[in-house]
Structure 1
Amino acid sequence: MSGAGAIAPAATGARAGAGTGGRLARLRLALGFARRDLRGSLSGGTLAGFRVFVACIALGVATIGGVGSLAGALTASVADQGRAILGGDLDAALVHRAASPDEHAALAALGPTSTVATLRSMARNPATGDQILVELKAVDDAYPLVGSLDIEGGGDLHAMIGRKPQATDGAPVWGAVADKALLDRLGLKIGDRIGLGTTEVVLEGVIAREPDKLAGGFDFGPRLMISARALDSTGLVVPGSLVTWHERVTLPPGAGDAAVKAAKDRLEATFPDAGWRLRDRNAAAPGFVDNIARFAQYLTVVGLSALVVGGVGVANAVSAFVERKRASIAALRALGASGTFVFFMALAEVMAIAALGIAIGLVLAAAIPPLAGVALAGVLPVDAVGGLYPGALGLAALYGVLTALAFSLWPLGRVHDVSPTVLFRDADGEARRPRRRYVIATAAVAAALAAIAIGLADDRRIAVVFVAGTIGAFVVLRAVAAGLRALAARAPRARSVTLRLALGNIRRPGALTPVVVLSLGLGLTLLVTLALIDGNMRRELTGRMPAVAPSFFFLDVASTEIDPFRAFLAREAPGATVAATPMLRGRLVSLKGIPAADYPAPASAAWVLKGDRGITFAATPPANGRVSEGEWWPADYAGKPLVSFSADVARDLGLKIGDPVTVNVLGRPVTATIANLRTTEWDSLSINFVMVFSPNTFAGAPYGVLATLAYPGGGSPEAETALMRAIGRDFPTVTAVRVKDALDTINDLVSQLALAIRAAASIALAASVLVLAGALAASHASRIHDAVVLKTLGATRRRLIAAFALEYALLGGATAVFAVAAGSAAAYAVIAGVMRIPFAFDAATAIGAVAVALVVTVGLGLVGTWRVLGHKAGPVLRDL
Structure 2
Amino acid sequence: MMPSSFQIRTAFRLARREIRGGFRGFYIFLACIALGTATIAAVNSVSRAVTSSIASEGQAILAGDVRFELRNREATPEERSYLEGLGDIAVSTGLRSMARAPSGSEQTLAEVKAVDGAYPLYGTFEAEPNRPLDELLAKDQNSYGALAAPLLFERLGVKLGDEILLGSARLKLTGSIVNEPDALSDGFGFAPRLLVSRDALVASGLIQTGSLVEHAYKIRLADPLKRASITADTNKAYPDAGWSIRTSDRAAPSLTENVNRFSQFLTLVGLTALIVGGVGVANAVRAFLDAKRTTIASFKCLGAPAIIVTMTYLFQILFIALIGILIGLVVGAIVPLIAMQFLAGVLPVPKEITLYPSALLIAAVFGLITTLAFTILPLGRAKEVPATALFREQGFDEGRWPSWPYLLATGLLLALLAGLAVLTAEDRFIASVFLAAVAFAFVVLRLVASLVRLIARKSPHVNSTAMRLAIGNIHRPGALTPSVVLSLGLGLTLLVTLSLIDGNLRRELTSTLPERAPNFFFVDIQGSDLEGFRNVVKQNAPNGTINEVPMLRGRILALNGQDVTKIDVPPSGRWVLRGDRGITYAGDMPENTKLTEGSWWAADYTGEPLVSFAAEEAGELGLKIGDTVTVNVLGRSITAKIANLRNVEWESLSINFVMVFSPNTFRGAPHAWLATLADPEATPADEGQILRAVTNAYPTITSVRVKDALEVVDRLVGQLATAIRAAAAVALIASVLVLAGALAAGNRARTHDAVILKTLGATRITLIKAFSYEYMILGLATAVFALAAGGVSAWFVIARIMKLPSAFLTDVAVGTVVVALVMTVGIGLLGTWRILGQKAAPVLRQIGE
Structures share fold, TM-score greater than 0.5:
yes
Aligned to 2:140: 164
Aligned to 1:126: 102
Local SS of the residue matching 1:689: coil
Q: Does the Cα contact within 8 Å between 2:554 and 2:631 map onto a contact in 1?
A: yes
Q: Does the Cα contact within 8 Å between 2:54 and 2:348 map onto a contact in 1?
A: no
Structure 1 window deviating more from structure 2 (199-208 vs 722-731): it is: 722-731
Q: CA deviation at 1:153?
A: 4.1
Aligned to 1:104: 80
Trace 1:701-850 onto structure 2 (pairs within 5 A): 701-713=669-681, 715-850=682-817
Structure 1 window deviating more from structure 2 (513-522 vs 799-808): it is: 799-808
Local SS of the residue matching 1:48: coil
Q: Are 2:286 and 1:286 equivalent residues in the alignment?
A: no
Q: CA deviation at 1:781?
A: 3.0
Local SS of the residue matching 1:396: helix
| In structure 1, distance between residues paired with 2:419 and 2:190 | 41
For 1:235, the aligned partner's letter is: G
Local SS of the residue matching 1:604: helix
Aligned to 1:522: 490
Local SS of the residue matching 1:616: strand
| In structure 2, distance between residues paired with 1:584 and 1:707 | 13
| In structure 2, distance between residues paired with 1:262 and 1:464 | 36
- Per-residue CA distance 1:476-516 (angstroms, 9 max, x = gap): 11111111111111111111112101101111222211111
Q: Does the Cα contact within 8 Å between 2:536 and 2:693 map onto a contact in 1?
A: no
Q: Does the Cα contact within 8 Å between 1:577 and 1:712 map onto a contact in 2?
A: no
| In structure 2, distance between residues paired with 1:22 and 1:537 | 57
For 2:586, the aligned partner's letter is: A
Q: Does the Cα contact within 8 Å between 1:407 and 1:442 map onto a contact in 2?
A: yes
Aligned to 1:12: none
- Alignment counterpart, residue 251 of structure 1, candidates 221, 224, 238: 221
- Alignment counterpart, residue 526 of structure 2, candidates 552, 558, 581: 558
Q: Are 2:113 and 1:143 equivalent residues in the alignment?
A: no
Aligned to 1:187: 157
| In structure 2, distance between residues paired with 1:628 and 1:465 | 28
Structure 1 window deviating more from structure 2 (658-667 vs 630-639): it is: 630-639
For 2:7, the aligned partner's letter is: R
For 1:351, the aligned partner's letter is: L
Structure 1 window deviating more from structure 2 (25-34 vs 522-531): it is: 25-34
Q: 1:778 to 1:428 in 2, by over 3 A?
A: closer
For 1:551, the aligned partner's letter is: N
For 1:87, the aligned partner's letter is: A
Aligned to 2:347: 380
Q: Does the Cα contact within 8 Å between 1:74 and 1:385 map onto a contact in 2?
A: no
- Per-residue CA distance 1:261-312 (angstroms, 9 max, x = gap): 2223221111110000000001100000000110111011001100110011
For 2:655, the aligned partner's letter is: I
Q: Structure 2-normalised TM-score?
A: 0.97
Structure 1 window deviating more from structure 2 (748-757 vs 21-30): it is: 21-30
Q: Does the Cα contact within 8 Å between 2:287 and 2:746 map onto a contact in 1?
A: no
Q: Are 2:831 and 1:861 equivalent residues in the alignment?
A: no
| In structure 2, distance between residues paired with 1:642 and 1:503 | 70
Aligned to 1:674: 642
Q: 1:418 to 1:872 in 2, by over 3 A?
A: closer
- Per-residue CA distance 1:368-425 (angstroms, 9 max, x = gap): 2211111333333555663111111101000000000000011011222322222212
Local SS of the residue matching 2:75: coil
Trace 1:62-73 onto structure 2 (pairs within 5 A): 62-73=38-49
| In structure 1, distance between residues paired with 2:403 and 2:283 | 19
Aligned to 1:52: 28
Trace 1:599-614 onto structure 2 (pairs within 5 A): 599-614=567-582
Aligned to 2:301: 334
Q: Are 2:272 and 1:305 equivalent residues in the alignment?
A: yes
Q: Are 2:2 and 1:26 equivalent residues in the alignment?
A: no
Local SS of the residue matching 1:633: coil
Q: Does the Cα contact within 8 Å between 1:624 and 1:680 map onto a contact in 2?
A: no
For 2:10, the aligned partner's letter is: L
- Alignment counterpart, residue 458 of structure 1, candidates 426, 430, 440: 426
Aligned to 1:14: none
Trace 1:486-565 onto structure 2 (pairs within 5 A): 486-565=454-533
For 2:30, the aligned partner's letter is: V
Once superposed, what is the RMSD of the aligned Cα atoms? 1.7
Q: CA deviation at 1:858?
A: 0.7
Aligned to 2:438: 470
| In structure 1, distance between residues paired with 2:384 and 2:807 | 54
Trace 1:205-354 onto structure 2 (pairs within 5 A): 205-252=175-222, 255-256=224-225, 259-354=226-321
Q: Structure 1-normalised TM-score?
A: 0.94
Structure 1 window deviating more from structure 2 (478-487 vs 259-268): it is: 259-268
Q: Does the Cα contact within 8 Å between 1:174 and 1:202 map onto a contact in 2?
A: yes
Aligned to 1:61: 37
Aligned to 1:7: none
Aligned to 1:577: 545
Q: Does the Cα contact within 8 Å between 1:370 and 1:384 map onto a contact in 2?
A: no
Aligned to 2:70: 94
Structure 1 window deviating more from structure 2 (728-737 vs 598-607): it is: 598-607
Q: CA deviation at 1:639?
A: 2.4
Local SS of the residue matching 1:784: helix
Q: Does the Cα contact within 8 Å between 1:414 and 1:434 map onto a contact in 2?
A: yes
| In structure 2, distance between residues paired with 1:284 and 1:248 | 12
Q: CA deviation at 1:429?
A: 5.3
Q: 1:811 to 1:574 in 2, by over 3 A?
A: same
| In structure 2, distance between residues paired with 1:689 and 1:153 | 44
Trace 1:437-452 onto structure 2 (pairs within 5 A): 437-452=405-420
Aligned to 2:448: 480
Aligned to 1:6: none
| In structure 1, distance between residues paired with 2:492 and 2:107 | 46
Q: Are 2:558 and 1:590 equivalent residues in the alignment?
A: yes
Structure 1 window deviating more from structure 2 (762-771 vs 792-801): it is: 792-801
- Per-residue CA distance 1:702-739 (angstroms, 9 max, x = gap): 101101111143x1100011111122221111110000
Aligned to 2:90: 114
Structure 1 window deviating more from structure 2 (732-741 vs 329-338): it is: 329-338
| In structure 1, distance between residues paired with 2:336 and 2:764 | 50
Structure 1 window deviating more from structure 2 (699-708 vs 534-543): it is: 534-543
Local SS of the residue matching 1:221: coil
| In structure 2, distance between residues paired with 1:302 and 1:554 | 42
| In structure 2, distance between residues paired with 1:239 and 1:273 | 20
For 2:131, the aligned partner's letter is: G
- Per-residue CA distance 1:553-589 (angstroms, 9 max, x = gap): 0011111110111011111211111111110100011
| In structure 2, distance between residues paired with 1:314 and 1:639 | 70
Local SS of the residue matching 1:656: coil
Structure 1 window deviating more from structure 2 (424-433 vs 185-194): it is: 424-433
- Alignment counterpart, residue 695 of structure 1, candidates 655, 663, 670: 663
Listed as ranges, the gaps of 5+ residues in structure 2 are none
Aligned to 1:404: 371
Q: 1:186 to 1:615 in 2, by over 3 A?
A: same
| In structure 1, distance between residues paired with 2:587 and 2:59 | 46
- Per-residue CA distance 1:435-460 (angstroms, 9 max, x = gap): 22222211111111111112222211
